[in-house]
Structure 1
């Protein structure tokens, strides 16, 4: 049994053991993309590299056998940088978005394409569950959101943007259904939210969802804060505001009206709660009265964590700076809640961080037809009622979505590795990118070759299942592509192994149609 060292820890392993498996047996996690248990190890991605300390050579751990006396490094800055460079090289010709442009543009980061797919199938209850993961007040925003998502919708390149705001509205306006998310285990912690506008309500909602008790204090005799102005100018129906607040009450929020917070009761509030969020709108005067540092006509905060200079006191929404977009206020409330949750659990606020997102830019003319393959050619649906879409209209409109997001957005190994290594997706991008292509002629999978990293796993799996046609590498060098030989369709190439190939694919190149 050869004896080797990895990160100065010695281990004996059976003859024929790869370095990757040796490391795994020691509890050392080495990232890999082209490796799959049961398949041949053909190192193509080079993400699993380790360094041989005897000669400083970088080795692919998935294909390198452990030998007597090896001394390897798997976790130091040089190895990390080598892996990062390998990931950035893979990203250099990766034509695909992780998240759709509409979701990236949404201040609240709502999963719009997923909502659209549920609505297109008539599953409005499931659509609302998706919305409520990120948005506390979907019914309200369905009427007054300025819809920045629609401004970047790729459907505009074909005809007109998808009516995302109206689709969000109908998911929340269904009279026979409302949804209360599952709460995390009760933390035993209490938070006071000062102000019942969109930022305050959103912060309270997400804190309750995270398992904390939350009480909202409003100095006026009714709830809503700046939303009351939307009632007065006719943008927001009274019954929608009433319904949303009633849902929040059923979810567990406690409300106090006619409760002004001033220097007389401020100390009591701070002592009664584990954290306090100031969400009262423009508060320069009140902030100074409560002893809070102010800046630029609002409460001063750490811009990453929403924390004021006083421990346990946070501020959000127009309390920091005037917010004209309700959806932005709702998003800020959610981000503040994230930080407060971290403070309550770990003693310090934390900035919201989004995962790595690959973006390839504007669709070319020749790519429009590729994206229309999983959409419909219908023009934008115009609601016949001032109340918004009927169910039938909503289903028809939602079907216009181009499904710009990746089908493996949560389990793409390339995205996970890029995120872990803080990769720069444009570091090695030179010249014109390839055009996106989508093959939909298979009943259960989709093939997008410009997301392929040429790992060869699908080729081997198809061969193992004795597919008559299968897949193969076509071309040489940088032009090589995984494709079906003899110009056959992928439907004929993969008659048995399609789903297994899709599961093995480390990116979204091969994926299930249903995703």
Structure 2
């Protein structure tokens, strides 16, 4: 049996074993996109590179067989850079978005496309569950959100943006019963939130969601903070604010009104609770900073973690800097809560970080029809009532969504590798990109060739299933594409192998026609 060393770990494996499988046998994880057990190893992605420490030579671990005496490195800086470059080269030819532009533009990072798809099918209960994953007060935002998501909606390249804000509102209205998401097991931790405005309410919701007990202290005799200004201005009905706060009470948030917190009070609260979040809104003078370090725009906090200089005290919302958009305040409250949750577990806060996101830019005229394949014709529907859409109007409006997000959002190997290696998707972008094309002429899969990395797995899988037509590589060099030979359609090429091809595809090039 050959004996080799990988990252100073001695390994004995059977003759004919690849370096990749030798590494995996001892728990060394080498990334790969074009490798699949049971298929031929054709190293096309080159993200599985390892280095011979004696010669400095790089080699693809998925296709290279072990040789007795090998001494390899799979984790050093040179290997990492080689893999990063391989990923960036793949991204240079990749035309597709991971997240839809609307979700990226939403400060609360709500999964808007998924919400739309549920509403389009009349599944309002499921739509609200998606919204509440990120947003504590959907019914309120459905009235007062400034909708930055609609400003970047790709439907504008066709006619008008999808009415996302009002769709979010109806998800909260049409739920068949009161929806309270499932909380994590009780942690035994006690949190205090000072202030009941949008940031404070959002922070409290997400803290309770994580299994902590949370008390909110409000200096006024009514709850809602700056949201009450929206009520006075006629933008937000009072009953909506009252109902959302009542839901938070039922969820487990405890409220204390007429509780003005002074400097000494804050010290006591900080000693009585495991952590404190200040969300008292915009402060007008230094005396309202409760003895905390001040910055130009409010209380000083670590920009990443929302932590003040005082251990255990965090701050969020307009007390840091004035927030004119309620959705931004709500997003900040959530991110602060996540940081506090990390503090409770590990002793220090943690910044919110979004995963790598591929973006290809504005739709071209030639691409509009491709996106309309997943949508319907028709102008934006305007709500005829101050309360928003009827169910029928909401369903019709949600169907206008173009499904801009990737179907393999959570299991795309290219995205995972790009995130791991902090890839720069623009590093090797030269010249004009190819046009997005979408093939829907198959009952169970969608084919998007501009997301393909030419790994050849689908070709081999189709062959193993003895497809009469199957798939093949067409063209040469940089122009090569996986296509159906003899000018046939993909539904004729993949009659039994479609699902296996979709599951094996490392990107969203071949994906299942899921509704969600």
TM-score, normalised to structure 2, is: 0.99
3-state SS of paired residue (2:114) = helix
Tell me how far 1:406 sits from its aligned partner: 0.3
Kindly indicate whether the alpha-carbon contact (under 8 Å) linking 1:287 and 1:294 is maintained by their aligned counterparts in 2: no
Cα distance in 2 for partners of 1:297, 1:424 equals 33
Cα distance in 1 for partners of 2:89, 2:350 equals 31
Give the aligned partner of residue 37 of structure 1.
Answer: 37
Give the aligned partner of residue 62 of structure 2.
Answer: 62
Cα distance in 2 for partners of 1:502, 1:287 equals 61
Instruction: Out of 453-462 and 255-264, give the one that drifted further.
Output: 255-264
5 Å matches for 1:115-264?
115-174=115-174, 176-264=176-264
Confirm whether residue 500 of structure 1 aligns to residue 511 of structure 2: no
Tell me how far 1:174 sits from its aligned partner: 2.2
Kindly indicate whether the alpha-carbon contact (under 8 Å) linking 1:189 and 1:274 is maintained by their aligned counterparts in 2: yes
3-state SS of paired residue (1:374) = coil
Kindly indicate whether the alpha-carbon contact (under 8 Å) linking 2:286 and 2:294 is maintained by their aligned counterparts in 1: no
- Paired residues, number: 515
Tell me how far 1:419 sits from its aligned partner: 0.2
Unmatched segments (≥5 aa) in structure 2? none
Tell me how far 1:438 sits from its aligned partner: 0.2
Tell me how far 1:270 sits from its aligned partner: 1.0
Kindly indicate whether the alpha-carbon contact (under 8 Å) linking 1:32 and 1:47 is maintained by their aligned counterparts in 2: yes
- Runs of 4+ aligned structure 1 residues displaced above 6 Å come to none
Cα distance in 1 for partners of 2:422, 2:287 equals 38
CA, structure 1 residues 170+287, in 2 after alignment: closer, same or farther (shift >3 Å)?
A: farther
CA RMSD of aligned residues (A): 1.0
Tell me how far 1:284 sits from its aligned partner: 5.0
Cα distance in 2 for partners of 1:401, 1:54 equals 56
Cα distance in 1 for partners of 2:339, 2:385 equals 41
5 Å matches for 1:330-349?
330-349=330-349
Kindly indicate whether the alpha-carbon contact (under 8 Å) linking 1:284 and 1:294 is maintained by their aligned counterparts in 2: no
Tell me how far 1:379 sits from its aligned partner: 1.2
Kindly indicate whether the alpha-carbon contact (under 8 Å) linking 2:95 and 2:360 is maintained by their aligned counterparts in 1: yes
Tell me how far 1:287 sits from its aligned partner: 5.7
3-state SS of paired residue (2:55) = coil
Cα distance in 2 for partners of 1:46, 1:371 equals 32
Post-superposition CA distance 1:342-400 (Å, at most 9, x none): 11110001110000000000000000000000100111111121210000100000000
CA, structure 1 residues 207+170, in 2 after alignment: closer, same or farther (shift >3 Å)?
A: same
CA, structure 1 residues 190+473, in 2 after alignment: closer, same or farther (shift >3 Å)?
A: same
Give the aligned partner of residue 427 of structure 1.
Answer: 427
CA, structure 1 residues 495+289, in 2 after alignment: closer, same or farther (shift >3 Å)?
A: closer
Cα distance in 2 for partners of 1:52, 1:384 equals 69
Confirm whether residue 416 of structure 1 aligns to residue 429 of structure 2: no
Kindly indicate whether the alpha-carbon contact (under 8 Å) linking 1:279 and 1:315 is maintained by their aligned counterparts in 2: yes
Cα distance in 1 for partners of 2:348, 2:22 equals 38
Unmatched segments (≥5 aa) in structure 1? none
Give the aligned partner of residue 28 of structure 2.
Answer: 28
CA, structure 1 residues 243+467, in 2 after alignment: closer, same or farther (shift >3 Å)?
A: same
Post-superposition CA distance 1:101-130 (Å, at most 9, x none): 000000000000000000000000000000
Give the aligned partner of residue 275 of structure 2.
Answer: 275
Kindly indicate whether the alpha-carbon contact (under 8 Å) linking 1:339 and 1:351 is maintained by their aligned counterparts in 2: yes
Give the aligned partner of residue 114 of structure 2.
Answer: 114
